[in-house]
Copies of this chain bind each other. A is one copy, B any other.
Amino acid sequence: MAGNTFGQAFRITTFGESHGGAVGVVIDGVTPGLEISESEIQKEMDRRKPGQSSVTTPRQEEDKISIMAGIFAGKATGTPLFIVLYNKDARPEAYDSIKNLFRPGHADITYHEKYGIRDYRGSGRASGRETAARVAAGTVARKMLEQKGVKVLAYTLEAAGYKCKTFDENEIENNLVRACDPEAAALMTKRIEELAEIGDSCGGIIECRISGVKSGLGEPVFDKLDADIGKAMLSLGAVKGIEFGKGFDCSSMLGSEHNDWMDKNGFMTNNAGGILGGISTGQEIVFRIAVKPTSSISVPQKTVNIKGEETEIVTKGRHDPCICPRIVPVVEAMTYIVLADHYKRQAAMLG
């Protein structure tokens, strides 16, 4: 009911505020016998962690994970896997100046109105730091799915007003913005650095391609595979939209153009994005998400305080001028989590 659990057969429950004692995740439904090590998870954590480059926040956090349950002699036992990250460098006093203000674009005001009480230190539970737990869990799901030949690949398709024109998978980890086109990446990077300089931020579009998913995954009618991926993505604070295959462009297409025909080699096109009637076709699954510009900016903004009085706010924190490169591993993680859940649900259906 309270929204901190995701999935059914592969189920994660997360907790933690950005400046509390720790963030972490309980993962229920890990296949027993799965080999998993802290270093494998740490590698993915490092892709998400702050302080990576000039286009991310300069904050330095280790994001060091520990597996504290559910594992024995390097293998998952089938009992809940528990992974924790302690908040080592929390500096709650840095937030004293904003404790009675509602930062524009943030969940400050909505948490205040929902709960009547708010942990104002670094956005509390609404902080992006919460996604660290998702990445940890996603890496476990990834290990399970790699054995089935599934591969999820996310990357920046657009950012700071520039759009990738080529696609080279090998380039993605070679540039600071995790874009699939090195030329666009250079333009994006330059523009984001400029925005960082003036304390502003920008948004972008992340594309995700999933290969190796067998046909038949997804549960009609409400838990369609695209519905569950959509929920997973929209549960990320910065995401404002998602589309599959041709997505919004399908609104101006004809049925005769959009329908994917089949011949003896399978589907001839993939306008649907690999999902029909909520069930995977066995083709590549393709979706894109809209990422809003980071809400934390240091440009002066109008807002109100907790009493409703008008004021101006200038946040001084060291924030991400564009969250795209850091959201890429989170998108991959949540996708792996949805897929692990649906693989197990399919097994239950047949079991």
Contact B220 A125 (CB under 8 A): yes
Q: Which residues of B contact A223 (CB under 8 A)?
A: 2-3, 235
CA distance A111 to B32 in the complex (A): 11
Given A33-B116, A79-B17, A80-B2, A254 and B347 touching (CB < 8 A)? no
Contacting B at CB under 8 A, from A90-112, are: 102, 104-107, 109-111
Given A106-B277, A230-B234, A234-B230, A3 and B224 touching (CB < 8 A)? yes
Given A276-B105, A290-B250, A221 and B72 touching (CB < 8 A)? no
Interface SS majority for chain A: mixed
Q: Which residues of B contact A21 (CB under 8 A)?
A: 66-69, 82
Contact B113 A282 (CB under 8 A): yes
Interface assignment of A331: CB less than 8 Å from any CB of chain B: no
Instruction: Specify which of A1, A291, A294, A344 lies most central, judged by the most chain B CB atoms within 10 Å of its CB.
Output: A1
Contact B20 A69 (CB under 8 A): yes
Interface assignment of A252: CB less than 8 Å from any CB of chain B: yes
Number of interface residues of A (CB under 8 A): 152
Contact B220 A254 (CB under 8 A): no
Interface assignment of A71: CB less than 8 Å from any CB of chain B: yes
Q: Which residues of B contact A304 (CB under 8 A)?
A: 262-264
Chain A 2-15: CB-based contact to B (< 8 A → 1; otherwise 0): 11111011010111
Q: Which residues of B contact A107 (CB under 8 A)?
A: 220, 276-279
Q: Which residues of B contact A4 (CB under 8 A)?
A: 26, 28, 79-80, 219-222
Contact B3 A220 (CB under 8 A): yes
Contact B82 A15 (CB under 8 A): yes
Instruction: Specify which of A29, A82, A261 lies most central, judged by the most chain B CB atoms within 10 Å of its CB.
Output: A82
Q: Which residues of B contact A31 (CB under 8 A)?
A: 349-351
* Besides A9-B349, A105-B260, 12 new A-B residue pairs in contact (Cβ under 8 A), listed by A number: A15-B82, A26-B26, A84-B84, A105-B259, A107-B279, A109-B215, A201-B255, A222-B232, A230-B234, A240-B243, A259-B301, A345-B348
